[in-house]
Structure 1
């Protein structure tokens, strides 16, 4: 199934999502990002949103715009953020400050595997996935790393816009499937 097929399955009450989906998956609709970055952010966001038909459609879209290495990075980011977002959201929300002094003891080698532009791309996906997963501590961290890496706020905002639309589409389509 393609993104266009899924878009056509969105109910009329989600017309804005139809319009936004087309927009954010294009360079004019995602200022500051190139098509490979858009594809990576969309793929990571789809994985985080956990709706298989959307993930498959976005994976096909992403394969047209990003290299296999970039696609692997997007999936790796979604995987590691799935773990980190839970751990660091707990650390941020728990009222006992001692948790901040205890090492996480979680392997995160994938994060260190990227340098330069590839690191910025990985961080864009990590920020988007962290937004989907609702981890404020991770959002702050990735935003800071991106800005220090020379990524502008408009590109960062575009990544989060993509994440928000992908997640909303996943929620609506999952509910539509459940309703029959």
Structure 2
């Protein structure tokens, strides 16, 4: 996992806890509550949602060695749809306007039905992206959806923890100077 080690080494001492959490969660024995598909799909959806290209490419490469192309595509679909719906539904929630909230969204979301992966896993990938994007109503909906598909609260918590650590990693990486990144890579 040298790519992950490069990311971890790039994190400054002020982010030591993030570095440790990243290593333990994405290591071979990390997050036993999640299947391999759930772990890497949620990691990819979180990285995409966090919008750090270096982290996304690293997670995508690592995930590609651990899971199928279909799971990776499902994670990409979940992240892309959540990028749109998290903004829309968060705005509806913030507006506190019943008339506005009652209007149809009018947004194409075919990927919600045509993702080609396990429905419970897709809910977890949507949850991961929604947590990173900070959409309360989407987070609630995907926790409920995951539970409806038989996902345990421990699995849901593991996805939320993973999303939090990947978001924190992206945030810290975004603050680093380009020369510091070049020295590590």
Mapping 1:165-176, distance limit 5 Å: 165-176=165-176
CA distance in 1, matches of 2:27, 2:38: 10
Q: How much does 1:93 deviate?
A: 1.1
Q: How much does 1:179 deviate?
A: 8.1
1:151 to 2:172 alignment? no
1:56 to 2:60 alignment? no
1:127 to 2:127 alignment? yes
**Corresponding residue for residue 161 of structure 1:** 161
Q: Secondary structure at the match of 1:22?
A: helix
CA distance in 2, matches of 1:91, 1:177: 37
| 8 Å CA contact retained: 1:132, 1:167 | yes
Q: CA RMSD in A?
A: 1.6
Further displaced range: 88-97 or 18-27: 18-27
TM-score (normalizing by structure 2): 0.91
For structure 1, list consecutive stretches of 5 or more residues without a partner in the other structure.
none
Q: How much does 1:96 deviate?
A: 1.4
**Corresponding residue for residue 112 of structure 1:** 113
| 8 Å CA contact retained: 2:55, 2:170 | yes
For structure 2, list consecutive stretches of 5 or more residues without a partner in the other structure.
181-185
Q: Secondary structure at the match of 1:45?
A: helix
| 8 Å CA contact retained: 1:27, 1:35 | no
Q: How much does 1:114 deviate?
A: 4.6
For residues 26-55 of structure 1, what are the alpha-carbon distances to aligned partners after superposition, in whole Å with 9 as ceiling and x for unaligned?
464324201221111110100011111111
CA distance in 1, matches of 2:6, 2:156: 28
1:9 to 2:10 alignment? yes
For residues 76-113 of structure 1, what are the alpha-carbon distances to aligned partners after superposition, in whole Å with 9 as ceiling and x for unaligned?
10000000000000111112111221100101110112
CA distance in 1, matches of 2:110, 2:179: 41
TM-score (normalizing by structure 1): 0.94
**Corresponding residue for residue 136 of structure 2:** 136
Q: Secondary structure at the match of 1:76?
A: helix
| 8 Å CA contact retained: 2:78, 2:126 | yes
